[in-house]
Structure 1
């Protein structure tokens, strides 16, 4: 047994055994099997939440994803984040000649072999990602998207030194490890908060002997947190949107609508001119951006029609309508869904993949409508004043 990767702790009357693993290491899989077989614990804790547990148990789950339901449920951004992260993991594992999450699968199987209770000890991934997103300013969000897009698209070779560092990290962490210095909130939420959450779940697992299978990067933090009190509720909730963003979402449409009313009161012709400018700028730019990603002609027309209306209502988005049309006309195939995690890292792959192309239509249409809103809105204010 590799004692360097096994840490024993006593917490009250409980014996806790932390097994530090590398998520893409074959040796870690063997270590997990050996520790659980020899220790026969009452509980086995693994560094997965329910969503990632389902994903690792059913790697073909993407084949049943309904893109129309994704768009309707307004979860396009979350889905894209998941696709990028899972695609990165698959890409890295392929370079290393191994499988993603092999040690977690082994922990699940070994727990059954010794009749130990399986505990999903990690925080929900959606909570983690949204806590990161809500903590960032608008400028930081734009920088983060830019950094993720270009860093994940690189196809550079992994040196032996890089490999050793990656093997020490959680797969989720390794995916954005280079961004921690730029975005301190990312490191705090991604590592420190999860150390607290993992420690709380581990020390409260049933039984007196507990084996916890963790990414090596978490072991030092969890080891300290075991003996501390955690405010688990505060790190388990998604922070609400700021009041400023909520107010702004309603103020801008209300202001534009008020300007239209004012223009028509001044002069019907003036009102019609300003309204026409609004329709043209928002509609043309939304449809142009939809066309840039080679959207279907009906999706382009939908963007043009929807943009002038949806930009005046904070609860609607032009991209939802354009995306629904795109997905209905060019329904993604099973093959498209199977190729998602490879196609997402190249523009050519995204454009040929109907599933990813639908997501791109949603995003691009919204971007075009937003730019049109800014141009048309400032133009109306300038003309009236």
Structure 2
């Protein structure tokens, strides 16, 4: 193949290592131009293997387009994965809305890669880490306040209505702009960048080197190109099992998680010993109401089911005394049980997530709303209740 035929532009990097050729195609995930480039490269190069930045779950969801229809909200709530699912929903909703404006659905270039590979009988390797593992590792790596910051940013992005063109996407794909964005993310949340970008760069690189053949075409988001190229040139080896594990909560987080309830309970007992049982009872009642009322009010604002309101009111004072489960999960589970979403609401959830009023109309989104507002109410109540009880010690 002559050099003219291989003049793909700056969106393609060709790396030769140990007699193998890796052709990295950097794409924007909502771009017909990227999809066309993917087809051109694969058809011209005729590689031994095509690697795509997908895991089995995302690949299945893209092909079937039924990711949300098959969702079991009660199971997700029981497994305490609502928060990570919510972030995924906000990001997916924003991406889908941008795709609609361009007339291109998210992930079209990844599906195009698998389609072209199938047409030419080329093996396809799904080289990305399971998205559920990535999201849970990312979520678990953040402090409470960073989690709130991330959810706020995600919500802002989901509700932003802006125009974007193919030319703007092409500009974003330029290396200097992407590096600047990654640097900003690294400064704001270094741990998050490590999990979402750096670890996945290493994961994809390792999967590429394990793929069969001497010529590999890899289709990835443009933001991963630099990290993958560096990993290949440095012959970097990665233990995949190590970064596929969900890390447990840090010992500091566990200590803090249990220290707060111990302090509250011990304080009430001390008040009873020092000032009498009546004072202890008053403080216990204050704790119950300070936690129960804001959490229940959050469910009311979300227009939750009456039993969800009751569960938040009764559950919050007790869930605030244990780090094992939050009031939001209890209320969300009750909401999903008594007001299960309809099939059409699952189908429209990503579209509806971009409109504020639809969060009350769509029953899927209302479960998330119950979770968010009851959790915030419980957090507020915990601080108010703890401050009052500790103040009464003196």
Q: Same fold (TM over 0.5)?
A: yes
Q: Within 5 A, what are the aligned runs for 1:181-330?
A: 182-228=188-234, 229-233=236-240, 235-266=243-274, 267-330=276-339
Distance 1:173 1:125, change over 3 A: farther
The 8 Å contact of residues 302 and 360 in structure 2, kept in 1 or not, is answered as yes
- After TM superposition, give the deviation of residue 177 of structure 1 in Å: 9.3
In the aligned structure 1, how far is the partner of 2:385 from the partner of 2:278? 17
Q: Out of 72, 86, 102, which is 1:96 matched to? A: 102
> Secondary structure at 2:65's aligned position in 1?
coil
Equivalent in the alignment of 2:41? 35
Q: Tell me the distance in 2 between the aligned counterparts of 1:328 and 1:20.
A: 43
Separation of aligned partners in 1, 2:15 and 2:205: 12
Residue in 2 that maps onto 1:339: 348
Task: Report the 3-state secondary structure (helix = DSSP H, G, I; strand = E; otherwise coil) of the residue aligned with 1:10.
Answer: strand
> What secondary structure, in the 3-state scheme, does the structure 1 residue paired with 2:68 have?
helix
**How far 1:254 moved relative to its partner?**
1.4
Larger displacement relative to structure 2 (77-86 or 209-218) = 209-218
Kept in 1, the 8 Å contact 2:127–2:204? The answer is yes
What is the CA–CA distance in structure 1 between the aligned matches of 2:14 and 2:99, rounded to whole Å? 29
1:373 aligns with: 382
Cα distance in 1 for partners of 2:226, 2:311 equals 53
TM-score by length of 2: 0.88
Residue 354 of structure 1 deviates from its aligned partner by 0.5
Match of 1:123? 129
Q: What's the CA shift string for 1:146-186, capped at 9, x where partnerless?
A: 223223311122266633234559xx999999755533444
Q: 1:234-290 CA deviation, whole Å, 9 max, x = no partner?
A: 544444322221101111111212223333344222222112111111111111121
| Contact persistence 2:295–2:378 (CA under 8 A) | yes
Unpaired stretches in structure 1, ≥5 consecutive residues: none
Matched, 1:66 2:72: yes
* 2:373 is the counterpart of 1:364: yes
Higher mean C-alpha deviation, range 332-341 or range 217-226 = 217-226
TM-score relative to the length of structure 1: 0.90
Instruction: Decide whether the 8 Å contact of 1:22 with 1:168 is kept in 2.
Output: no
| Match in the other structure for 1:152 | 158
**Is this contact kept in 2: 1:123–1:194, CA < 8 A?**
yes
Greater mean deviation of Cα atoms: 229-238 or 331-340: 229-238
Asked whether the 8 Å contact 1:281–1:372 carries over to 2, the reply is: yes
Aligned to 2:8: 3
1:109 aligned onto 2:115 = yes
Indicate the SS of the match to 1:162: helix
**Deviation larger for 255-264 or 365-374:** 255-264
Match of 2:364 among 348, 355, 360: 355
Give me the whole-angstrom Cα distance separating, in 2, the residues matched to 1:177 and 1:340: 32
Equivalenced residues, count: 383
- Kindly indicate whether the alpha-carbon contact (under 8 Å) linking 1:50 and 1:120 is maintained by their aligned counterparts in 2: yes
Change (3 A) 1:272 1:59: same
Distance 1:106 1:174 in 2: 29
Aligned equivalent of 2:168: 162
Using the TM superposition, name which of 23-32 and 185-194 deviates more: 185-194
Query: What residue is the counterpart of 1:83 in the other structure?
Result: 89
Partner of 1:21: 27
* Residues 241/374 of structure 1: CA separation in 2 closer, same or farther (3 Å cut): same
Q: Is the 8 A contact 2:353 2:359 kept in 1?
A: yes
Q: Which moved more, 1:257-266 or 1:85-94?
A: 257-266
User: Which deviates more from structure 2 when the two are superposed, residues 333-342 or residues 6-15?
Assistant: 6-15
Q: Which runs of 5+ in 2 are unaligned?
A: none
